[in-house]
Amino acid sequence: MPNGSMEPPRRPGRSDGTDLAVGERVRQMRKARGASLKDVAGRAGMSVGLLSQIERGLSSASVRALARIAEALNVSIADVFPVEPEGSDPLRVVASAKERQRVAFGDSGVTKELITPFQQIPALNIYIITLEPGGSSGGEPYAHSGEEAGYVIEGGIELIVDGRRHILGEGDSFRFSSRRLHQFRNAGDRTARALWVNYREG
């Protein structure tokens, strides 16, 4: 995929706490791997300029963009959430509701709450995804390593896997390999929420 083919930056020039935190995590992980902006942008299929804006908190990454960046860095999307404080018990099994970490994906109408804030490998990450009316993962499908599954809590979700459309209502569930091209969007005119699970081998 040539550089610049991914969706354009969202809200240029805007910087908030979420965008800054996500951008800083991406920058830290890229530098820890000794990778340049050009290297990661090329692997993620986006322009160097867009990646730089995301790292500086000047542009909100869409779900698709963040998934591609995570894949380029060989990490899961959960790894861009703030890390646990030093001294946390690596073997703990319970997280309180107030510990949930939340990322809103710009103007995409999508919000992810990570409800398993444990830095463990293999990574089994569980989210609550909220999609406002018109909210979606982006205009183009994407793929990455791992597997995912989910359960629709409320509203309706349109899930497209390998070009095939599926309409899921409350109580419906799904499962597929993340290596299959996929995308999703709110299927109705009211807020939709789903429990979403991503598994990625270490």
Residue holding tokens 């999307």? 77
Cα dihedral: 150, 153, 154, 157 (round 10)? 0
**Given a cut of 70, is residue 15 above it in pLDDT?**
no
Which pLDDT does position 86 carry in this prediction?
53
37-59 pLDDT tens trace: 999 999 999 999 999 999 988 88
Q: Return d(Cα 67, Cα 26) in angstroms, integer.
A: 12
Which pLDDT does position 66 carry in this prediction?
85
Which pLDDT does position 87 carry in this prediction?
55
Place 124 in a pLDDT band, splitting at 50, 70 and 90. Answer: confident
**Given a cut of 60, is residue 181 above it in pLDDT?**
yes
Name the CATH code of domain 97-200 (choices 3.30.300.10, 3.10.20.70, 2.60.120.10, 2.60.40.10). 2.60.120.10
Mean residue pLDDT of the chain comes to 83
pTM of this prediction? 0.73
Q: What is the CATH superfamily name and number for domain 17-80?
A: lambda repressor-like DNA-binding domains (1.10.260.40)
Structure tokens given for 98:
């107030």
In the chain, the amino acid numbered 102 is: R
Residues of the chain with CATH 2.60.120.10: 97-200
Q: Return d(Cα 69, Cα 42) in angstroms, integer.
A: 10
Residues of the chain with CATH 1.10.260.40: 17-80
Q: Mean of the pLDDT values across residues 69-98?
A: 75
How many Cα atoms within 13 Å fall on the side-chain side of residue 170? 7
Phi, psi of 151 (to 5 degrees): -145, 125
